[in-house]
Amino acid sequence: MKKLFWIIIIILLVMTFSDHDLIRPYKEKLYGLVWDKASASGDNKQAVLRQVKKELMVAAQQWGDSQRSQLEKATMSIDALLKFYQDYCVNGDFNPIIFGDPLKQSCNIINSHHYNLTKP
């Protein structure tokens, strides 16, 4: 138990004083990973919405600006995201901006978080 305590202290000290240019990107990536996992493990719907938005924006980096803006508009709220999912993923309505493979990827991302978005 004592060794674990000292390991945690050392890790915290390294993370606190690691503002060197070589270490900073890894530290920020680690913080982002921990923050994402912590928010996803909770039952906060807004945290799940942020996670879905982040995953959609990562996938949309290779798409056009209008497709990214459409996804940003769809992830403004949980209701808007669920409406987007219902209209275009479940009902199969035609979206003139997002269609084909980008729509399939978006639907897969939303579907992977659908349970957490709709649970009471």
Taking 70 as the threshold, does the pLDDT of residue 36 lie above it? no
- Mean pLDDT computed over 2-7: 84
* Residue 93 CB partners (closer than 8 Å, separation 6+): 87
Identify the pLDDT of residue 43: 55
What is the identity of the amino acid at 6? W
CA distance 111 to 90: 10
pTM, whole model, 2 decimals? Answer: 0.63
> To the nearest whole number, what is the mean pLDDT of the chain?
81
